[in-house]
Amino acid sequence: MTVFPVAASNHQAAPLTLVELFTSQGCSSCPPADAFLGELSKRSDVLALSVHVDYWDYIGWKDPFASPKNTERQRRYSKFLGMRYIYTPQLVIQGADHEVGSDRTKILAKIAKAAKLDQVAVGIRRD
């Protein structure tokens, strides 16, 4: 599935590949993945989301962007993807695949693969 943001004018937008980085300010392994997500966000064919989880908050640094809903989202992906655990930095590609968020080579290959899959138009509305 490829995501198409649908403009109010119903203009056909270019396909986007959705990538979601599950991260936390309390995660010492996350800064390289956060930086890579920043690079991906500049691409015109990628919709990059930073999703902060709250399960690192126990170590003393409370991530102000973290939410239990984000952690639950990651748990659901984990179940859907057949994983037994959740971790950071995890990058989910098109909701159907994942990699360690700093593994540039594997992520770029999976983004290229996802872009070739069937495309589904998705409307995005701001409330």
- Give the phi and the psi of residue 73 in degrees, each rounded to 5: -60, -45
Q: Which of 2 and 32 is assigned the larger pLDDT?
A: 32
**Which pLDDT value is given to residue 59?**
87
Mean pLDDT, the chain, whole residue set: 89
> Residue 76 belongs to a domain with what CATH number?
3.40.30.10
**Which pLDDT value is given to residue 117?**
82
**Residues above pLDDT 90, as percent of the chain:** 75
**Residues above pLDDT 70, as percent of the chain:** 85
Domain count, the chain: 1
Cα angle value 67/36/25 (rounded, 5°): 30
Q: Which of 60 and 103 is assigned the larger pLDDT?
A: 103
**Which pLDDT value is given to residue 7?**
47
- Give the phi and the psi of residue 120 in degrees, each rounded to 5: -125, 130
**Which pLDDT value is given to residue 127?**
73
- Whether the predicted pLDDT of 67 surpasses 90: yes
Expressed as residue numbers, the domain containing 20 is 3-123
Question: d(Cα 69, Cα 120) in Å, to the nearest integer?
Answer: 25
